[in-house]
């Protein structure tokens, strides 16, 4: 099967078999063709060549509604729910129970309750979908798939916005579905997820299938090599050296009921990690230091000079940069070009006006330096991959001359190649003497990249782990309040 767009081969002659009752993972870098292939299977897009067979019978393209009727359902990264309708109405939209032109809301609610129980969601079927959390909405999407008696369920990056607990609950649901004979096609960038939930993995690169293997026959290094087409000798390229003088010092910082009397410092050339469960206060702490949320108490000093931060503009002027957790909603003006986004925090001015030529030169210099893959710096940022978008955000802070940088979940939604490049940049910045604070929910990133890890729980720092004592168990124990097993 193949898919061609004008000037682009998105999927090239893919041959694929998926078995009932398996979790078949699709891995590859951004742009490898994974999502396009899933859209072909779900009949969201018509194929340019080839065909699909379901249970041995050829399937002609008739659109996603026809695919759902045959038992093929896809849960997209962006949910296809009507927020102003109830849960029950969303589950049966277009296929409402009833007869003679009437909808039986009672039957609809009872059927919805049965489906919600199958996906472990305890909410009123009459509740408006817009009032549900992201994790709850995802389960509504899963229930929608079951409503059409899905035989093939496609999940595209389903854990991107879930907590660790919600991810574990999703995996339990997926295992229950495969036990019922449903085939699950699963796209993920997270290597740990692939090895935890997958039975087989198909690796794609440049629109083509590289290979398919049982997950049990692969290790992380081999999987990465298949994905990027080369050996990534070190996904975490950290060059550790003795840190210099204290650059950032935070003392007694508190804000509302989310950050409580937090003190820490970061030295020149040091990467300090912030670990903790979702809701521990890590992002809130970073935003308070940056002035995005004003603290109620505490001080922030840079290079021994106490700062007066009344908002982000003061932090930027002082030399602090913050790469936000959600680059699309908080970090980028998606419809503007790369050039506008790069210079946004420090506009090149001439005679009281923005110097457009200088703006273009700045953007082109950063593009070449950070290897941002875009031929024209006026191109809208929304057209770039996640990794290139993150580089644009980093370029902005480098243009401000920031000496302290907060990286908040910088690898989220990025493939392994892009992550490796981002970590190389972090290491290089530390090598230049900058002070780096690295927030991540994925412990291997912190354990490999950091010099020290500060662990937060309930808005407080509960402990510090020096590099010589790094262990996943110790960090988790401090994050959860559990006792370490020294036996």
Q: Higher pLDDT residue, 97 or 311?
A: 311
CA 309 to the chain's CA centroid: 30
With beta carbons less than 8 A apart as the criterion, state whether 276 and 480 touch. no
pLDDT in tens, 107-120: 889 989 998 988 88
Predicted local confidence at residue 232, as pLDDT:
54
Distances, alpha carbon 102 to alpha carbons 69, 95, 346, in Å: 22, 12, 61
Inter-axis angle of helices 386-399 and 356-370, to 10 degrees?
120
Angle formed at CA 300 by CA 294 and CA 303, multiple of 5 degrees:
150
Which SS3 state, helix, strand or coil, does residue 273 take? strand
| In contact, 408 and 323? CB cutoff 8 Å | yes
Closest to 241 in 3D by CA, of 429, 471, 447, 431: 431
Helix residue ranges per DSSP H, 344-438: 356-370, 386-399, 416-431
Nearest to 197 by CA among 211, 176, 181: 176
pLDDT in tens, 57-100: 888 888 888 888 888 988 887 778 888 999 999 888 877 777 66
What is the per-residue pLDDT for 1? Answer: 80
Decide which of 133 and 258 is more confident. 258
Q: Is 43 left (phi over 0), alpha (psi -120 to 50) or beta?
A: left
Residues 433-443, mean pLDDT to the nearest whole number: 92
Domain boundaries, the chain: 3-228, 246-480
pLDDT at 96: 74
Is CATH 3.40.50.300 correct for 3-228? yes
CA-CA distance, 371 to 391, in Å (whole number)? 8
Q: Are 205 and 229 in contact (CB under 8 A)?
A: yes
Q: How far apart are the C-alpha atoms of 125 and 104, rounded to whole Å? A: 14
pLDDT of res. 171: 92
CA distances from 69 to 42, 63, 65, 66, 458 (A): 11, 10, 6, 5, 47
Highest mean pLDDT among 11-20, 351-360, 454-463: 454-463
Q: Judging by beta carbons within 10 Å of its beta carbon (0-12, 13-18, 19+), is residue 408 exposed, middle or buried?
A: buried
Please provide the average confidence, as pLDDT, over all residues in the chain: 87
Contact 93/85 with Cβ under 8 angstroms? yes
Residue 321 C-beta-side C-alpha neighbours within 13 Å: 24
Residue range 191-201, pLDDT digits in tens: 888 999 999 99
State pTM to two decimals: 0.66
Stronger pLDDT, 79 or 272, i.e. the higher one = 272
Contact 152, 171 (CB under 8 A): no
String of DSSP letters for 92-158: TTTS-SEETTEE-HHHHHHHHHHHHHHTT--S-TTSBGGGS-HHHHHHHHHHHHHHTT-SEEEEEST
* Greatest mean pLDDT among 63-77, 89-103, 386-400, 420-434: 420-434
Q: What percent of the chain is predicted at pLDDT more than 70?
A: 95
Rounded Cα distance between 255 and 260, Å, is 7
Whether the per-residue pLDDT at 487 is higher than 50: the answer is no
* Contact (CB, 8 A) for 371 and 428: no
Distance from chain centroid for Cα 357: 34
Q: Which of 3.40.50.720, 3.30.930.10, 1.10.540.10, 3.40.50.300 would CATH assign to domain 246-480? A: 3.40.50.300
pLDDT for the residue 234: 62
Q: What is the DSSP letter of 403?
A: S
- Beta-bridge partner residues of 156: 187
Q: Do domains 3-228 and 246-480 have the same CATH topology?
A: yes
Q: What is the pLDDT, as a whole number, of residue 322?
A: 93
Between 144 and 250, residue with greater pLDDT:
250
Question: What per-residue confidence (pLDDT) applies to 350?
Answer: 85
* pLDDT attached to residue 373: 84
Reported in sequence order, the residue ranges of 215-270 that DSSP labels E, i.e. its strands, are: 246-255, 259-267
Lowest mean pLDDT among 32-46, 255-269, 453-467: 32-46
Beta strands at 349-350 and 353-354: parallel, antiparallel or unpaired: antiparallel
Tell me which of 10 and 335 has the higher pLDDT: 335
The H or E element that residue 227 is part of is helix 220-228
């Amino acid at each position: 099967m193949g898919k061609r767009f004008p000037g682009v081969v998105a999927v090239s002659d893919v041959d694929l078999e998926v078995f009932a009752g398996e979790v078949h993972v699709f891995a590859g870098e951004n742009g490898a063709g994974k999502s396009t292939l899933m859209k072909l299977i779900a009949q969201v897009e018509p194929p340019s060549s080839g065909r699909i067979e379901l249970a041995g019978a050829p399937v002609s393209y008739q659109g996603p509604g026809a695919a759902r009727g045959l038992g093929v359902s896809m849960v997209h990264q962006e949910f296809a729910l009507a927020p102003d309708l109830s849960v029950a109405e969303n589950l049966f939209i277009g296929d409402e129970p009833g007869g003679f032109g009437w909808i039986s809301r009672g039957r609809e609610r009872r059927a919805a309750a049965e489906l919600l129980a199958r996906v472990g969601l305890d909410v009123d079927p009459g509740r408006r979908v817009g009032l549900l959390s992201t994790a709850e909405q995802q389960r509504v999407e899963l229930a929608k798939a079951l409503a059409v008696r899905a035989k093939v369920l496609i999940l595209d990056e389903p854990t991107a916005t879930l907590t660790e607990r919600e991810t574990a609950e999703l995996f339990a649901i997926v295992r229950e579905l495969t036990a019922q004979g449903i085939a699950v096609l699963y796209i993920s960038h997270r290597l740990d997820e692939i090895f935890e939930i997958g039975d087989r993995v198909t690796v794609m690169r440049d629109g083509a299938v590289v290979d398919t293997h049982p997950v049990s026959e692969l290790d992380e290094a081999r999987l990465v090599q298949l994905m990027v087409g080369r050996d990534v000798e070190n996904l975490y390229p950290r060059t550790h050296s003795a840190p210099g003088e204290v650059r950032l010092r935070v003392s007694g910082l508190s804000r509302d009921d989310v950050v409580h009397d937090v003190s820490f410092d970061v030295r020149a050339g040091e990467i300090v990690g912030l670990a903790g469960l979702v809701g521990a206060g890590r992002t809130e702490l970073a935003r308070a230091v940056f002035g995005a949320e004003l603290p109620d108490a505490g001080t922030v000093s840079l290079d021994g000079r106490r700062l007066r931060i009344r908002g982000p503009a003061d932090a930027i002027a002082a030399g602090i940069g913050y790469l936000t957790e959600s680059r699309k909603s908080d970090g980028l003006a998606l419809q503007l070009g790369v050039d506008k986004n790069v210079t946004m925090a420090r506009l090149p001015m001439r005679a009281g006006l923005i110097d457009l030529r200088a703006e273009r030169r700045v953007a082109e210099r950063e593009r070449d330096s950070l290897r941002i893959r875009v031929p024209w710096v006026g191109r809208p940022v929304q057209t770039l991959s996640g990794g290139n978008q993150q580089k644009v955000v980093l370029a902005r802070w480098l243009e401000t001359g920031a000496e302290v940088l907060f990286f908040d979940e910088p690898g989220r939604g990025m493939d392994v190649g892009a992550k490796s490049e981002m970590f190389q940049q972090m290491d290089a910045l530390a090598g230049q003497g900058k002070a780096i604070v690295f927030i991540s929910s994925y412990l291997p990133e912190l354990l490999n990249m950091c010099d020290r890890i500060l662990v937060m729980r309930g808005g407080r720092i509960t402990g510090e782990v020096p590099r010589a004592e790094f262990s996943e168990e110790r960090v988790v124990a401090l994050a959860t309040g559990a006792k370490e097993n020294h036996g």
